[in-house]
């Protein structure tokens, strides 16, 4: 049986528009392999999906990564959904 592991990562990247040199973002990642290693490629994919409009992905660096609980993972996902909805309304 594969164990699901959840991670929170803080990333930095240069912006496409050069408005600011660096930007920070955060993502949560789920990994269901038996590996104890951080899912690097899944993180890059998540950043690409979430920040594709502003990020120069060739400059991506992962600043921090911690394993989190499933509850924290779900709470963070819900928070992002709520922020996205508020942004669309505002």
Give the pLDDT confidence score for residue 73 in this predicted structure.
92
> Can you tell me the distance from the alpha carbon of 63 to that of 66, in angstroms, rounded to the nearest whole number?
11
At residue 89, does pLDDT exceed 90?
A: no
The per-residue pLDDT for range 20-76, each reduced to its tens digit, is: 667 788 888 888 877 777 888 888 898 999 888 888 889 899 999 899 999 999 998
Q: What φ, ψ does residue 14 adopt, rounded to 5°?
A: -80, 145
Of the chain, the end-to-end C-alpha distance in Å amounts to 44
| DSSP assignment of 9-78 | EEEEEEETT-SSSEEEEEEEEEE-SS--S--HHHHHHHHHHHHTTTEEEEEEEEEEEEEE-HHHHHHHHH
Q: What is the pTM of this model?
A: 0.78
Give the pLDDT confidence score for residue 38 in this predicted structure.
80
């Amino acid at each position: 049986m594969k164990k699901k592991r959840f991670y929170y990562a803080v990333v930095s990247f240069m912006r496409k528009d050069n408005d600011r040199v660096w930007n920070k973002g955060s993502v949560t990642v789920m990994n269901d392999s038996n590996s104890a290693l951080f899912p690097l490629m899944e993180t890059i994919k998540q950043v690409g999906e979430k920040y594709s409009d502003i990020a120069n992905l060739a400059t991506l660096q992962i600043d921090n990564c911690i394993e989190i609980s499933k509850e924290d993972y779900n709470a963070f996902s819900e928070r992002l959904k709520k922020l996205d909805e508020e942004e669309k309304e505002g």
